[in-house]
Amino acid sequence: MGLFGFSKKKDASSCKWECHPETAEQDAPVKVLGSGCDKCRALEQSTIEALKESGREPRVQHVTDFAEIAKYGVMQTPALVVDGKVVSYGKVLSKEEVLKLL
């Protein structure tokens, strides 16, 4: 039980910045790391479009927990992680750039 009788219930499929819970997956092979800012959401959207175009299932997890982001060694966001490896950080990629990295 949290402060004043409220419990802290955190939904793992979405973040407080109203990311795309319909595409968020716990063990998604593709992750966007970032605070949930406009740049992070733009990278997430480009990634979803690239996955759809490549015929892959558009499963993208948006990681906003800074402790989790730090585990990847990322110091600049947004970052893109594919199959556990950081493939880009510090910039928003276009759909075409994401396709090349997939």
Residue 57 CA: distances (Å) to CA of 84, 92, 95? 17, 21, 15
40 is catalytic: yes
Instruction: Say whether 81 sits in a helix, a strand or coil.
Output: strand
Catalytic residue among 37, 65, 70, 96: 37
pLDDT exceeds cutoff 80 at 5: no
* Token pair for 48: 């979803």
pLDDT exceeds cutoff 90 at 36: no
pLDDT exceeds cutoff 70 at 49: yes
How confident is the prediction for the chain on average, in pLDDT? Answer: 80
| pTM, 2 dp | 0.71
Q: Count Cβ atoms within 10 A of the Cβ of residue 18 and give its class: 0-12 exposed, 13-18 middle, 19 or more buried.
A: exposed
CA distance 95 to 11: 28
CATH architecture of residue range(s) 20-96 = 3-Layer(aba) Sandwich (3.40)
Q: How confident is the model at residue 102 (pLDDT cuts 50, 70, 90)?
A: confident
19 is catalytic: no
More reliable by pLDDT, 68 or 9: 68
Catalytic residue among 15, 24, 33, 40: 40
Region 76-94: mean pLDDT is: 93
